[in-house]
Structure 1
Amino acid sequence: MGRISAAEMRVLMIFLATAFLWLFRMDINLTMGGQDITVPGWSNVMGIAKYVDDGTVAIVMAILLFIVPSKQRKGETLMDWETAVKLPWGILLLFGGGFALAGGFTESGLSLWIGERLHGLAAYPHGVLIGGIGLLVTFLTELTSNMATTSVLEPILAGIAKANDIPPLLIMIPAALSASFAFMLPVATAPNAIVFASGHIPIRKMVYAGIVLNLIGVLLVVLTVLVLTVRIFN
């Protein structure tokens, strides 16, 4: 790779500064030697905690990339617009849209409202409930992205858990794990599309094999949650 250049060192410093500002923005509570210790966050020390969040840090540091000179050429900065437009903005919009959607479900009270309408779920055994959620999420994620699936369902599951007096992690963890079981269709995930595009595996074989893998995955999730997760999270 060679020796690190001055421009690369400056990018590294901005990245480390971003991580530091993210980690220490809010107060950190520690327990050492039986004593509770609070490390004050920089936003509280400066009295601006109400006005800044992680997004503020990201925006400021991104702007710095367009300001700090790279020292490669005169007038050249670490980042220019020609390079910025080549970034995978679609992925950023996908994640950002997912977070916004999840926040809308929670802030509007829609997730809790749906949970209250499904108040009878507490009567089912935990194994049946976890298996049903796993199957629903597994086959839903074949048609939608993992991010979209979890962003929509996790707030709803949290509302269902609250309305039915069920431990939230008991149904939210299986949903998060099952969202990765996209084995059936080429549109489910990029690796599936690459394999299908090779022409060696017809859609029928992919669906048959994917169903088997999905069912095995859901079964493993049910066993894992009932055996390990319950013990770990008490």
Structure 2
Amino acid sequence: MNAKRLFFIALGFALLLLFYFMPEFKPAVDPMGKEFPLSQAGKAAIGLFLLAGVWWVFEVIPIGVTSIAIGVFQPLFGIRAAKDAMKDFMDPTVMFILGSLLVGLAFTKAGITKRIAYKMLSLVGEDTRKILLGVFVITSLLTHVMAHTAVAATMFPIMMAILALYGEGNKPTNFGKAMFIGMAYTAGAGSIATLMGGARNPAAVGFFKEFTGQDVSFIAFSQHLLPVAWVSVVLIWLMLITILKPEKTRINGIREKARSLYAELGPMSRQELLVLLLVAGALSVLILQSFIPALKSIDRSIPLLVAGLLFFILEILTVQDLEKSIPWNIVLLFSGAMSIGFALWQTGAAEWIAVNFISLLQGSHWLIFVIGIAILVGLLTNFIMNVAAISIVLPVALVIAKYLGVNPELVLYSSVAMAGMPFLLLIGAAPNAIAYESKQFSTGEFFKFGIPGTLLILAVLLVFMFTYWPLVGLSPLAK
């Protein structure tokens, strides 16, 4: 064991023990005078959260094993009972990620991913920058109508096929880093464009209606955030081709090679058509949930898991695929992320942190207030479920906005934008973790590149607050 690894293992434990043995903290107080005490379990949850963050970022042990530690330490330090801590490992959100991975695996095995990859390369040509842009555009477009987890799982094997044609084998390259990190970032950016892009979007609109009495239509939501999404996609592309300039400016002959390989595939096979039909059926249910009340009670994991079951029944996938091709390290990563997220939420620790932070913004200028809320949502979303981050921050923020005279819609759209783009940690969103499976980058590199990425999105929001949003009637101050 090297000294650096030992240091970060010890640092994680030290942070956990520090918060566990710390004296009681003062309660957080919201603008209405309501107190939010921090229990002993809440203190320990913050310590465990810091331990997990250090171990995940510096990869002192496999990221999935860190998740197991989260489940083990909760009962040991009196945070939650083992039954509650471990139950979250099979949360429907984790099952949704598993279902998405099964869809991606079926696409790969049937040959659909190669077909898509070769067709795209024959269209965009040999310029590596245009190839990256093509990947990002397809990813973003799909997230307008599909959950970004499913999109990432679908795009992953396509990108692996492109990486193989890049000609550097499996070794990490700037091109590979830019492509997979960019896929994760643009999946998040694209998902804020419509109400169907992620559960956080309708959840935020629901809270907004409850606290303001105003509803936000499907069209109004997209009118305000779709331009933010696409400006973000283009800027993410420009940032990555600058920071991670591909080693090759062109892949000579790739267009002709892609056309040749596409021709070799021949017409679509019966298996390909069957996979497409099953996936289309699952996605149709997910999309129609936004419009058909009877379908809303079906958890979003069910359609994808049903498709997964049919893949095995129809022998498209086998037990060998389940054992060898599913990245269980990533599934465990999200299991642990769900567990620590619920621990912070259920012990009141996340609420205590949020209320303390938001209270600092009372009486501030509207711009400082809105940006402060956006930063808080962005930080929380990197550690807990984005829906939980919205649920914790938005209600309190809307109450304070009323007293400050800030337009509540500005708070809504800024919060949703940041909740959709957690660029710092793998646990911030499933596409981040799926991209990591490429082995093109480390968790530390993802964090490093995520800092300028996050600042870039904050800059985009600032520009929109003074330009486009006022043009469509979104003034900073309440009328």
TM-score w.r.t. structure 1 length?
Answer: 0.50
Task: With a CA cutoff of 8 Å and minimum separation of 6, indicate the structure with the bigger relative contact order.
Answer: 2
Structure showing the higher helix proportion among its residues:
2
